[in-house]
Protein backbone atom coordinates (compact mmCIF):
# COMPACT_ATOMS: atom_id res chain seq x y z
CA UNK A 1 0.00 0.00 0.00
CA UNK A 2 2.93 2.31 0.79
CA UNK A 3 4.31 1.78 -2.71
CA UNK A 4 0.88 2.42 -4.21
CA UNK A 5 0.52 5.76 -2.39
CA UNK A 6 3.99 6.95 -3.37
CA UNK A 7 3.40 5.87 -7.01
CA UNK A 8 0.07 7.70 -6.99
CA UNK A 9 1.76 10.95 -5.90
CA UNK A 10 4.54 10.58 -8.50
CA UNK A 11 1.98 9.97 -11.27
CA UNK A 12 0.03 13.11 -10.34
CA UNK A 13 3.17 15.27 -10.20
CA UNK A 14 4.18 14.01 -13.65
CA UNK A 15 0.72 14.51 -15.18
CA UNK A 16 0.15 18.01 -13.74
CA UNK A 17 3.34 19.45 -15.32
CA UNK A 18 1.91 19.40 -18.85
CA UNK A 19 -1.54 20.79 -18.05
CA UNK A 20 -2.21 24.39 -19.23
CA UNK A 21 -6.01 24.27 -19.52
CA UNK A 22 -8.06 25.03 -16.35
CA UNK A 23 -10.76 22.51 -17.26
CA UNK A 24 -8.24 19.71 -17.79
CA UNK A 25 -6.54 20.63 -14.51
CA UNK A 26 -9.83 20.33 -12.63
CA UNK A 27 -10.52 16.98 -14.30
CA UNK A 28 -7.09 15.75 -13.12
CA UNK A 29 -7.85 16.83 -9.54
CA UNK A 30 -11.14 14.92 -9.56
CA UNK A 31 -9.39 11.87 -11.04
CA UNK A 32 -6.96 11.68 -8.11
CA UNK A 33 -8.74 13.36 -5.16
CA UNK A 34 -12.43 12.89 -5.96
CA UNK A 35 -14.78 10.76 -3.88
CA UNK A 36 -14.33 7.97 -6.40
CA UNK A 37 -10.79 8.96 -7.33
CA UNK A 38 -7.57 6.99 -7.29
CA UNK A 39 -6.58 8.02 -3.75
CA UNK A 40 -9.98 6.95 -2.40
CA UNK A 41 -9.56 3.59 -4.17
CA UNK A 42 -6.22 2.96 -2.44
CA UNK A 43 -7.65 3.98 0.96
CA UNK A 44 -10.29 1.26 0.71
CA UNK A 45 -7.48 -1.20 1.52
CA UNK A 46 -6.81 0.45 4.92
CA UNK A 47 -9.27 -1.69 7.00
CA UNK A 48 -7.56 -4.88 5.81
CA UNK A 49 -4.19 -3.91 7.35
CA UNK A 50 -2.92 -4.88 10.78
CA UNK A 51 -3.46 -2.29 13.53
CA UNK A 52 0.21 -1.20 13.73
CA UNK A 53 0.49 -0.86 9.91
CA UNK A 54 -2.89 0.88 9.61
CA UNK A 55 -1.69 3.94 11.57
CA UNK A 56 1.48 4.29 9.50
CA UNK A 57 -0.47 3.90 6.21
CA UNK A 58 -2.99 6.57 7.32
CA UNK A 59 -0.23 9.06 8.08
CA UNK A 60 1.37 8.40 4.67
CA UNK A 61 -2.00 8.72 2.90
CA UNK A 62 -2.54 12.19 4.46
CA UNK A 63 0.95 13.26 3.37
CA UNK A 64 0.26 12.08 -0.19
CA UNK A 65 -3.08 13.93 -0.24
CA UNK A 66 -1.48 17.16 1.02
CA UNK A 67 1.32 16.80 -1.55
CA UNK A 68 -1.18 16.35 -4.38
CA UNK A 69 -3.30 19.33 -3.19
CA UNK A 70 -0.24 21.57 -2.94
CA UNK A 71 0.89 20.56 -6.43
CA UNK A 72 -2.64 21.26 -7.70
CA UNK A 73 -2.66 24.76 -6.16
CA UNK A 74 0.72 25.54 -7.71
CA UNK A 75 -0.42 24.27 -11.10
CA UNK A 76 -3.64 26.29 -10.82
CA UNK A 77 -1.65 29.46 -10.15
CA UNK A 78 0.62 28.75 -13.12
CA UNK A 79 -2.40 28.27 -15.41
CA UNK A 80 -3.93 31.59 -14.26
CA UNK A 81 -0.64 33.40 -14.76
CA UNK A 82 -0.37 31.94 -18.26
CA UNK A 83 -3.95 33.00 -19.08
CA UNK A 84 -3.26 36.50 -17.79
CA UNK A 85 -0.13 36.83 -19.91
CA UNK A 86 -2.01 35.67 -23.03
CA UNK A 87 -4.84 38.11 -22.32
CA UNK A 88 -2.46 41.00 -21.80
CA UNK A 89 -0.72 40.20 -25.06
CA UNK A 90 -4.03 40.02 -26.93
CA UNK A 91 -5.35 43.22 -25.34
CA UNK A 92 -2.13 45.14 -25.68
CA UNK A 93 -2.59 48.52 -27.30
CA UNK A 94 0.08 50.65 -28.83
CA UNK A 95 -1.14 54.16 -28.05
CA UNK A 96 1.47 55.62 -30.39
CA UNK A 97 0.08 53.80 -33.45
CA UNK A 98 -2.13 55.84 -35.82
CA UNK A 99 -5.84 55.25 -35.29
CA UNK A 100 -8.21 53.59 -37.73
CA UNK A 101 -11.26 55.66 -38.60
CA UNK A 102 -14.52 53.77 -37.95
CA UNK A 103 -16.82 53.05 -40.85
CA UNK A 104 -19.55 55.67 -40.73
CA UNK A 105 -22.93 55.54 -42.42
CA UNK A 106 -24.86 58.52 -43.75
CA UNK A 107 -28.41 59.64 -44.30
CA UNK A 108 -30.14 58.29 -47.39
CA UNK A 109 -30.58 60.73 -50.27
CA UNK A 110 -34.36 60.71 -49.80
CA UNK A 111 -34.05 61.44 -46.08
CA UNK A 112 -31.70 64.33 -46.78
CA UNK A 113 -34.12 65.74 -49.35
CA UNK A 114 -37.06 65.54 -46.94
CA UNK A 115 -35.08 67.38 -44.27
CA UNK A 116 -34.16 70.06 -46.82
CA UNK A 117 -37.82 70.48 -47.81
CA UNK A 118 -38.94 70.72 -44.18
CA UNK A 119 -36.31 73.38 -43.51
CA UNK A 120 -37.21 75.48 -46.56
CA UNK A 121 -40.96 75.42 -46.00
CA UNK A 122 -40.42 75.85 -42.27
CA UNK A 123 -38.97 79.27 -43.06
CA UNK A 124 -42.39 80.17 -44.51
CA UNK A 125 -44.23 78.99 -41.41
CA UNK A 126 -45.29 75.56 -42.66
CA UNK A 127 -45.67 73.02 -39.85
CA UNK A 128 -44.65 69.46 -40.63
CA UNK A 129 -47.32 66.90 -39.75
CA UNK A 130 -47.78 63.17 -40.29
CA UNK A 131 -50.99 61.59 -41.56
CA UNK A 132 -51.66 57.84 -42.08
CA UNK A 133 -50.07 55.96 -44.94
CA UNK A 134 -52.78 53.32 -44.56
CA UNK A 135 -56.10 55.11 -44.78
CA UNK A 136 -59.76 54.94 -45.68
CA UNK A 137 -61.03 55.41 -49.24
CA UNK A 138 -62.91 58.47 -47.95
CA UNK A 139 -59.75 60.42 -47.13
CA UNK A 140 -57.73 59.12 -50.09
CA UNK A 141 -60.40 59.68 -52.77
CA UNK A 142 -64.01 60.48 -51.86
CA UNK A 143 -63.36 63.60 -49.77
CA UNK A 144 -60.99 64.88 -52.47
CA UNK A 145 -63.81 65.12 -55.02
CA UNK A 146 -62.79 61.98 -56.93
CA UNK A 147 -65.88 60.00 -58.04
CA UNK A 148 -66.06 56.25 -57.69
CA UNK A 149 -65.55 55.89 -61.44
CA UNK A 150 -62.24 57.79 -61.44
CA UNK A 151 -59.37 55.71 -62.95
CA UNK A 152 -57.16 56.35 -59.88
CA UNK A 153 -59.58 54.23 -57.82
CA UNK A 154 -59.11 51.23 -60.06
CA UNK A 155 -57.49 48.21 -58.41
CA UNK A 156 -54.83 48.26 -61.11
CA UNK A 157 -53.72 51.68 -59.86
CA UNK A 158 -54.23 51.58 -56.09
CA UNK A 159 -53.52 48.95 -53.42
CA UNK A 160 -56.86 48.18 -51.71
CA UNK A 161 -56.33 45.95 -48.69
CA UNK A 162 -59.60 45.67 -46.72
CA UNK A 163 -63.26 46.69 -46.52
CA UNK A 164 -64.25 49.54 -44.23
CA UNK A 165 -67.11 50.20 -41.80
CA UNK A 166 -69.87 52.77 -41.66
CA UNK A 167 -69.59 55.57 -39.11
CA UNK A 168 -71.84 58.46 -38.17
CA UNK A 169 -70.33 60.75 -40.80
CA UNK A 170 -70.99 58.30 -43.61
CA UNK A 171 -69.32 55.39 -45.37
CA UNK A 172 -65.52 55.45 -45.18
CA UNK A 173 -65.17 52.72 -47.78
CA UNK A 174 -62.25 50.38 -48.25
CA UNK A 175 -58.83 50.57 -46.62
CA UNK A 176 -56.03 51.56 -48.99
CA UNK A 177 -52.30 52.14 -49.01
CA UNK A 178 -52.34 55.88 -49.66
CA UNK A 179 -51.51 56.68 -53.31
CA UNK A 180 -50.72 60.32 -52.40
CA UNK A 181 -50.20 62.57 -49.38
CA UNK A 182 -53.37 64.49 -50.27
CA UNK A 183 -55.23 62.21 -47.84
CA UNK A 184 -53.97 64.59 -45.15
CA UNK A 185 -55.87 67.60 -46.49
CA UNK A 186 -59.32 66.82 -45.09
CA UNK A 187 -57.84 65.25 -41.96
CA UNK A 188 -56.00 68.50 -41.26
CA UNK A 189 -59.18 70.54 -41.80
CA UNK A 190 -61.10 68.27 -39.40
CA UNK A 191 -58.73 69.28 -36.61
CA UNK A 192 -60.36 72.71 -36.69
CA UNK A 193 -57.12 74.60 -36.14
CA UNK A 194 -57.26 77.63 -38.38
CA UNK A 195 -55.41 78.95 -40.27
CA UNK A 196 -53.71 75.89 -41.79
CA UNK A 197 -50.15 75.87 -43.09
CA UNK A 198 -49.33 72.16 -43.33
CA UNK A 199 -46.45 70.15 -44.78
CA UNK A 200 -47.19 66.43 -44.89
CA UNK A 201 -44.37 64.10 -46.01
CA UNK A 202 -44.99 60.39 -46.16
CA UNK A 203 -44.65 57.13 -48.06
CA UNK A 204 -47.10 56.42 -50.88
CA UNK A 205 -47.93 53.31 -52.89
CA UNK A 206 -49.00 52.75 -56.49
CA UNK A 207 -48.94 49.83 -58.90
CA UNK A 208 -46.20 51.33 -61.07
CA UNK A 209 -42.58 50.39 -61.64
CA UNK A 210 -40.28 51.86 -64.28
CA UNK A 211 -37.39 54.32 -64.54
CA UNK A 212 -39.52 57.15 -63.12
CA UNK A 213 -41.93 55.20 -60.88
CA UNK A 214 -41.56 52.92 -57.87
CA UNK A 215 -44.31 50.92 -56.09
CA UNK A 216 -43.28 52.72 -52.90
CA UNK A 217 -42.22 56.35 -53.06
CA UNK A 218 -42.45 59.60 -51.05
CA UNK A 219 -44.43 62.77 -51.52
CA UNK A 220 -44.59 66.09 -49.73
CA UNK A 221 -47.93 67.86 -49.55
CA UNK A 222 -48.32 71.54 -48.82
CA UNK A 223 -51.67 72.96 -47.76
CA UNK A 224 -52.60 76.53 -46.86
CA UNK A 225 -56.17 77.40 -45.83
CA UNK A 226 -57.23 80.79 -44.55
CA UNK A 227 -59.39 83.73 -45.51
CA UNK A 228 -58.52 85.46 -48.78
CA UNK A 229 -55.80 83.04 -49.94
CA UNK A 230 -54.90 83.69 -53.58
CA UNK A 231 -53.09 82.16 -56.55
CA UNK A 232 -50.44 84.87 -56.14
CA UNK A 233 -49.56 83.45 -52.73
CA UNK A 234 -49.30 79.97 -54.27
CA UNK A 235 -46.97 81.30 -56.96
CA UNK A 236 -44.83 83.11 -54.38
CA UNK A 237 -44.55 79.99 -52.23
CA UNK A 238 -43.44 77.68 -55.03
CA UNK A 239 -41.06 80.35 -56.38
CA UNK A 240 -39.40 80.59 -52.97
CA UNK A 241 -39.00 76.82 -52.71
CA UNK A 242 -37.56 76.43 -56.23
CA UNK A 243 -35.00 79.19 -55.76
CA UNK A 244 -33.97 77.89 -52.33
CA UNK A 245 -33.63 74.25 -53.40
CA UNK A 246 -32.62 74.44 -57.07
CA UNK A 247 -30.87 77.82 -57.20
CA UNK A 248 -31.60 81.51 -57.67
CA UNK A 249 -31.32 81.24 -61.46
CA UNK A 250 -34.26 78.81 -61.79
CA UNK A 251 -37.66 80.18 -62.83
CA UNK A 252 -41.15 78.72 -62.50
CA UNK A 253 -44.41 78.84 -64.36
CA UNK A 254 -47.92 77.66 -63.58
CA UNK A 255 -49.43 75.82 -66.52
CA UNK A 256 -53.24 75.25 -66.55
CA UNK A 257 -54.16 71.66 -65.87
CA UNK A 258 -57.00 69.61 -64.35
CA UNK A 259 -57.07 67.94 -60.94
CA UNK A 260 -60.29 66.88 -59.24
CA UNK A 261 -59.34 68.33 -55.86
CA UNK A 262 -58.21 71.80 -56.99
CA UNK A 263 -59.88 74.54 -59.04
CA UNK A 264 -58.16 76.19 -60.79
CA UNK A 265 -55.41 73.57 -61.18
CA UNK A 266 -51.85 73.92 -62.43
CA UNK A 267 -48.80 71.94 -63.34
CA UNK A 268 -45.67 73.57 -61.96
CA UNK A 269 -42.76 73.74 -64.39
CA UNK A 270 -39.21 74.92 -63.73
CA UNK A 271 -36.54 75.99 -66.17
CA UNK A 272 -34.16 73.26 -67.30
CA UNK A 273 -30.77 73.35 -65.66
CA UNK A 274 -29.04 71.93 -68.73
CA UNK A 275 -30.04 74.63 -71.22
CA UNK A 276 -30.99 77.34 -68.69
CA UNK A 277 -34.56 77.41 -69.98
CA UNK A 278 -33.63 78.13 -73.59
CA UNK A 279 -34.32 74.70 -75.08
CA UNK A 280 -30.98 74.91 -76.89
CA UNK A 281 -27.54 74.07 -75.53
CA UNK A 282 -24.59 76.51 -75.94
CA UNK A 283 -23.38 74.29 -78.79
CA UNK A 284 -26.58 75.05 -80.71
CA UNK A 285 -27.96 71.53 -80.31
CA UNK A 286 -31.50 71.08 -78.99
CA UNK A 287 -31.64 70.10 -75.31
CA UNK A 288 -32.43 66.39 -75.08
CA UNK A 289 -33.52 66.67 -71.43
CA UNK A 290 -36.33 69.21 -71.73
CA UNK A 291 -36.60 69.82 -75.51
CA UNK A 292 -38.29 73.18 -74.88
CA UNK A 293 -36.65 74.78 -71.86
CA UNK A 294 -39.06 73.61 -69.13
CA UNK A 295 -39.25 70.56 -66.84
CA UNK A 296 -42.45 69.43 -65.10
CA UNK A 297 -42.07 69.45 -61.30
CA UNK A 298 -45.53 68.64 -59.96
CA UNK A 299 -49.15 69.62 -59.45
CA UNK A 300 -50.69 72.50 -57.56
CA UNK A 301 -53.86 74.56 -57.40
CA UNK A 302 -56.52 76.27 -55.31
CA UNK A 303 -58.37 73.89 -52.99
CA UNK A 304 -61.69 72.83 -54.55
CA UNK A 305 -64.81 74.05 -52.66
CA UNK A 306 -66.04 70.45 -52.37
CA UNK A 307 -62.84 69.49 -50.54
CA UNK A 308 -63.31 72.40 -48.13
CA UNK A 309 -66.87 71.23 -47.49
CA UNK A 310 -65.66 67.65 -46.87
CA UNK A 311 -63.30 69.09 -44.25
CA UNK A 312 -66.14 70.94 -42.52
CA UNK A 313 -65.16 74.42 -43.75
CA UNK A 314 -67.28 77.08 -45.41
CA UNK A 315 -65.95 77.71 -48.95
CA UNK A 316 -67.60 81.14 -48.89
CA UNK A 317 -65.35 82.12 -46.00
CA UNK A 318 -62.17 80.12 -46.56
CA UNK A 319 -59.95 79.55 -49.57
CA UNK A 320 -56.63 77.76 -49.86
CA UNK A 321 -53.99 76.31 -52.10
CA UNK A 322 -52.28 72.93 -52.19
CA UNK A 323 -49.31 71.36 -53.92
CA UNK A 324 -47.96 67.84 -53.93
CA UNK A 325 -44.79 66.56 -55.53
CA UNK A 326 -42.71 63.41 -55.39
CA UNK A 327 -39.71 63.69 -53.09
CA UNK A 328 -37.57 61.42 -55.26
CA UNK A 329 -38.60 63.14 -58.52
CA UNK A 330 -37.88 66.60 -57.10
CA UNK A 331 -34.52 65.51 -55.72
CA UNK A 332 -33.51 63.83 -59.00
CA UNK A 333 -34.08 67.12 -60.86
CA UNK A 334 -31.40 68.86 -58.83
CA UNK A 335 -28.43 69.96 -60.95
CA UNK A 336 -25.46 67.57 -60.95
CA UNK A 337 -27.22 64.56 -59.42
CA UNK A 338 -27.73 62.69 -62.71
CA UNK A 339 -29.81 59.74 -61.43
CA UNK A 340 -31.54 58.23 -64.44
CA UNK A 341 -33.61 55.52 -62.69
CA UNK A 342 -35.63 56.09 -59.49
CA UNK A 343 -35.31 52.40 -58.61
CA UNK A 344 -31.59 52.86 -57.97
CA UNK A 345 -32.52 54.65 -54.74
CA UNK A 346 -34.03 51.49 -53.23
CA UNK A 347 -31.70 48.71 -54.37
CA UNK A 348 -29.56 48.98 -51.21
CA UNK A 349 -26.38 48.96 -53.28
CA UNK A 350 -23.61 50.53 -51.19
CA UNK A 351 -21.58 51.24 -54.33
CA UNK A 352 -24.34 53.62 -55.37
CA UNK A 353 -25.13 55.10 -51.95
CA UNK A 354 -21.50 55.81 -51.03
CA UNK A 355 -21.23 58.28 -53.91
CA UNK A 356 -23.35 60.81 -52.06
Measured in degrees and rounded to the nearest 5, phi and psi for residue 25 equal -65, -40
At residue 303, does pLDDT exceed 90?
Answer: yes
Q: What is the mean pLDDT of the chain?
A: 83
209-248 pLDDT, tens per residue? 776 678 888 999 999 999 999 999 999 999 999 999 988 9
DSSP 251-303: -EEEEEEEETTEEEEEEEEEE-TTTTTSSB-TTSPBPTTTSSSEEEEEEEEEE
- Predicted pLDDT of residue 46: 67
Separation CA 309–CA 322 (nearest Å) = 15
Checking if the pLDDT of 115 tops 90, the result is yes
Average pLDDT over residues 85-104: 79
Are the C-beta atoms of residues 319 and 303 closer than 8 Å to each other?
A: yes
Q: Where is mean pLDDT largest: 15-29, 135-149, 277-291, 297-311?
A: 297-311
- Supply the pLDDT for residue 163: 64
The H or E element spanning position 221 is strand 216-226
Residue 18 has a pLDDT of 76
pTM strictly above 0.85? no
pLDDT at 341: 76
Q: What is the pLDDT of residue 169?
A: 43
Query: Stretch 73-92: mean pLDDT, rounded?
Result: 76
Mean pLDDT over 256-283 rounds to: 86
The per-residue pLDDT for range 187-209, each reduced to its tens digit, is 999 998 999 999 999 999 988 77
Low-confidence winner among 88-102, 158-172, 232-246, 300-314 (lowest mean pLDDT): 158-172
Looking at residue 286, what is its pLDDT? 84
Q: Which fold has domain 109-353?
A: BirA Bifunctional Protein; domain 2 (3.30.930)
Amino acid sequence: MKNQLEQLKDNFLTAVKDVTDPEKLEALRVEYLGRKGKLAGVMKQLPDLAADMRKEAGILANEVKLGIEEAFVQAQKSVKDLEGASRREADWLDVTAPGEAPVLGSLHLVTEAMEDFADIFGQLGFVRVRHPEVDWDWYAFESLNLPKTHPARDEWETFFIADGDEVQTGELGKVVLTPHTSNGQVREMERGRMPIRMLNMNRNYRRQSDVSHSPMFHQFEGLVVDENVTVAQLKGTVDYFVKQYFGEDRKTRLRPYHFRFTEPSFELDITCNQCEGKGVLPSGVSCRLCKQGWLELGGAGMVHPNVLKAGGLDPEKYTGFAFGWGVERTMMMKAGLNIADIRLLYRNDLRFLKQF
